[in-house]
Amino acid sequence: MTHPVPSLDEDLIRWGWEEDVWFHVDKLSSAHVYLRLPTGMSWDAIPEDLLTDLAQLVKANSIGGHKLNSLQIVYTPWSNLKKTGDMATGQVGFHSPRLVKYIRVETRINEIVNRLNKTKTESFPDLCAERQEHQQELNNAKKAVLREAAKREKEIEAERKRQAEARSYDRIYTAAKMTSNKDAGDDDDFM
């Protein structure tokens, strides 16, 4: 029995990272282009020139769209992609339409496409292993932050205790050194 080999597009849909943004020609067949954002960067903050580059790349790699003028490129965070079993290979939907943006490409800009093609490299990574490794790195970073917070809290608590002891009379009060008038043998009334 043979099993179909999943396409790279399917693997990217399945094993993407939270930092990935997905680009595609709207309503036409095209390459799935992913942008992996630097840690801490929001997908709303992608610079315009980078959006233009990505839109041109998607358009240039669209079977039906590469010759068309004025088409839309759709993009959304990877986490917004929705894949169900009844969808064709490479087909996706969206969990939330509010997390979908569009950029219009009027014409192909050959200078951009040529520049991008000159830097093109092909690789076939194990996307599952990469995501697992990335998730482990994120987990380790979270644990380090929690350890550091616990260490700081311990230091703060030790400082609070030290300051409380410094203000306490316990260090000068000892029951053995305490005397009373009654103990001194003085039976005179105070008044």
Q: Are residues 130 and 117 in the same domain?
A: no
Give the pairing type, strands 20-25 and 93-94. unpaired
Assigned domain for 176 exists: no
Whether residues 53 and 98 fall in one domain: yes
What's the confidence (pLDDT) of residue 178? 67
Domains: count for the chain: 2
Per DSSP, 36 falls in state E
Q: Indicate if 25 and 107 belong to the same structural domain.
A: yes
What is the domain range of residue 146?
125-171
The model's pLDDT over 16-69, given as tens digits with 9 standing for 90+, comes to: 889 999 999 999 988 889 999 998 899 999 999 999 999 999 999 998 888 898
pLDDT for res 166: 81
Give just the sign of the alpha carbon dihedral 73, 79, 80, 81.
positive
Would you state the pLDDT for residue 2? 37
pLDDT of residue 186: 55
Segments of the chain with pLDDT less than 50: 1-5
Angle CA 143–155–40, to nearest 5: 35
Say if pTM beats, i.e. exceeds, 0.85: no
185 part of a folded domain: no
Enumerate residues 6+ apart whose C-beta is below 8 A from 178: none
